[in-house]
Structure formats: C-alpha cells, structure tokens
C-alpha cells in the first residue's frame, strides 16, 4: 500500500529531489512530524531505501516514485499523481542541479534541462497541487530557491536566473493566496553541505568556512518559518540575511565587491 492510498488520516508530503541533501532532510523532518511521504527523484534505489527506513523509524507510509523532472513525461506523471492526492498537505519542490561555465561554452541541452527542472517542473507540480489545497483550505508549498536568486553571476547565468524565477514565482503566488490557508515559501539557502557541488564538479575549497550551512539548519529554519505563517521568503541564518540586505541596498560598486566570493562558485 502506498502513501497516497493509505487508509490513515495522516497528511501527505511530496518532496522532489528527496534522495539526498536538503530534500532528504525535509523527508526526515516531515516523517518525524507524522506525514506520510511520496518521495520523488531519479534514483529509484535510493528512494526505496529511504522510504523503507523512514516508514520503519516513524511508523508512517512512505513511497518512492522514480521520475526525471527535467523531462516532460516525468514532470507530467508526477503532476498527474498530485492531482489525484486527497491528503496532500505539503509540496517541497527541491530538485535541482548546478553547472559552471559561461553560457556560450555550455551544452545547450544542459542549460535547457536546467530551465525545465528549475522552472517548468515546479510550476506544473504547484499548479497540480493548488486546486486540492485551496478546496481543503490548507497546505504548504516550499520552493527551494537560493541566495543566488538575489545576484547575477558570470558562469552561473541560468542558475541565478532560474532561482530568481522560483523566488519571484513564490512571492507572487503567496499574494494570490492571501485569503486562504495555503501558504507558499521560497527557501533561499546559501552554501550548504550536500552533494550538490560535487555532482556539478565545482571546486569549493576556497569558499570560507563561515559561509557554509548544514542542511539540517536550512530545513529547520524553513519549517519553523512556514509553521508560523511567516513571510514568503526564508533566508536561513543571520549571516545570509545580512549578505542579502547588503546586496539589495548597497551601491553597485560595493555590491560587486561583496558578490565576488559568491561569484567564484555556487550558492
């Protein structure tokens, strides 16, 4: 029996990019809070292992759904599944990847895939979740954006642009839902200890230690802000709140000086 067909009355959380990093921590935290889970990622083996582990540990129903959300078939199959879910309480759009290099030198297919995964998939999954959440007058949607959404960065052009889309999309949607109990958050972490940079083959050795966050801190801040119906943008840690404040309000020449360490790699 899968998470969405369970006869229990537990709420269901669907998390994309759930097999590692921030997505995996969201799965752990939401399982601990009593949610059944539908976990989505490309790696079906890791998903099944995580689903079995969380089901046993927390006494909930967890299911893995292998899908490539950068492909039309994958994102639409997950969207169709969402539209049939009667207990969906939380949607976490976390799936993503990075690349490094100037746009003129990067493979076209890679950059198109980034736009599909960071823009089209979250939009389609959110659109599929909204009618049921609005009808039930309850639900939370968390779109994992980035501090990179506040900057532009040579070598990371589409990453920054797509993360900016997720942030602005979330803010606009939150405004549309003001008179409901459906809440939307753009989670904007900085450098976080996950597999993200290794998968993108980005050397992070020169990144100062004080800029790093733990995935548990990022997720806990996100969930805490969502629980109190906080503002639609969540920036974990005081240090990154301060950095974003500087980026937004300082003169352009000083902004460039502050951006420099961030532009050397990815946040």
DSSP string covering 55-90: HHHHS--EEEEE--TTSHHHHHHHHHHHHT-SSEEE
The answer to whether position 1 is within a domain reads no
The answer to whether position 6 is within a domain reads no
Summarize pLDDT for 162-194 with one digit per residue, the tens. 999 999 999 999 999 999 999 999 999 988 866
The answer to whether position 19 is within a domain reads yes
Q: Are 51 and 128 in contact (CB under 8 A)?
A: no
The answer to whether position 7 is within a domain reads no
Highest mean pLDDT among 6-10, 151-155, 258-262: 151-155
Rounded to whole angstroms, the Cα distance separating 175 from 155 reads 33
Highest mean pLDDT among 90-94, 196-200, 252-256, 257-261: 90-94
Summarize pLDDT for 128-163 with one digit per residue, the tens. 999 999 999 999 999 999 999 998 888 889 999 999
> Annotated active-site positions, please?
145, 159, 163
The answer to whether position 222 is within a domain reads yes
Rounded to whole angstroms, the Cα distance separating 77 from 68 reads 10
The answer to whether position 254 is within a domain reads yes
Say whether 246 sits in a helix, a strand or coil.
helix
Mean pLDDT (whole number) for 216-238: 96
CA angle in degrees (0–180, nearest 5) for 217-266-147 = 55
Number of domains in the chain: 1
Residue 94 pLDDT level (bands cut at 50, 70, 90): very high
The answer to whether position 2 is within a domain reads no
Give the CATH number for residue 54: 3.40.50.720
Sign of CA dihedral 189, 226, 87, 168: negative
Task: Give the pairing of strands 36-41 and 62-66.
Answer: parallel
Domain that holds residue 182: 12-263
pTM assigned to the model:
0.88
Phi first, then psi: what are they for 191, rounded to 5°? -60, 125
Rounded to whole angstroms, the Cα distance separating 200 from 180 reads 39
Q: Are 177 and 218 in contact (CB under 8 A)?
A: no
The answer to whether position 77 is within a domain reads yes
Q: What is the pLDDT of residue 200?
A: 41
> What does the CA dihedral 53, 55, 59, 61 come to, rounded to 10 degrees?
170
Q: How far is CA 210 from the centre of its chain?
A: 23
Summarize pLDDT for 11-55 with one digit per residue, the tens. 999 999 999 999 999 999 999 999 999 999 999 999 999 999 999
């Amino acid at each position: 029996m899968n998470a969405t067909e369970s006869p229990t009355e537990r709420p269901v959380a669907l998390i994309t990019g759930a097999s590692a990093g921030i997505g995996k921590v969201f799965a752990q935290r939401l399982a601990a809070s009593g949610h059944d889970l539908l976990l989505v990622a490309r790696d079906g083996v890791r998903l099944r292992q995580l689903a079995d582990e969380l089901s046993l540990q927390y006494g909930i129903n967890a299911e893995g759904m292998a899908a490539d959300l950068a492909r039309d078939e994958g994102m639409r199959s997950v969207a169709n599944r969402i539209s049939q879910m009667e207990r969906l309480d939380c949607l976490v759009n976390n799936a993503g990847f990075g690349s490094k290099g100037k746009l003129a030198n990067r493979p076209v297919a890679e950059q198109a895939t980034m736009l599909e995964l960071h823009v089209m998939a979250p939009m389609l999954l959110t659109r599929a979740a909204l009618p049921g959440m609005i009808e039930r007058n309850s639900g939370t949607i968390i779109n994992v954006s980035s501090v990179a959404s506040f900057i532009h960065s040579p070598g990371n052009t589409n990453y920054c642009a797509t993360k900016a889309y997720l942030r602005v999309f979330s803010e606009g949607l939150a405004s549309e839902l003001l008179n409901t109990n459906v809440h939307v958050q753009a989670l904007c972490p900085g450098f976080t200890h996950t597999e993200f940079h290794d998968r993108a083959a980005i050397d992070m050795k020169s990144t100062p230690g004080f800029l790093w966050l733990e995935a548990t801190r990022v997720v806990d801040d996100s969930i805490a802000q969502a629980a109190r119906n906080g503002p639609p943008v969540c920036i974990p840690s005081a240090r990154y709140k301060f950095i974003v404040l500087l980026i937004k309000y300082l003169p352009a020449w000083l902004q460039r000086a502050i951006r420099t360490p961030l532009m050397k790699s990815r946040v």
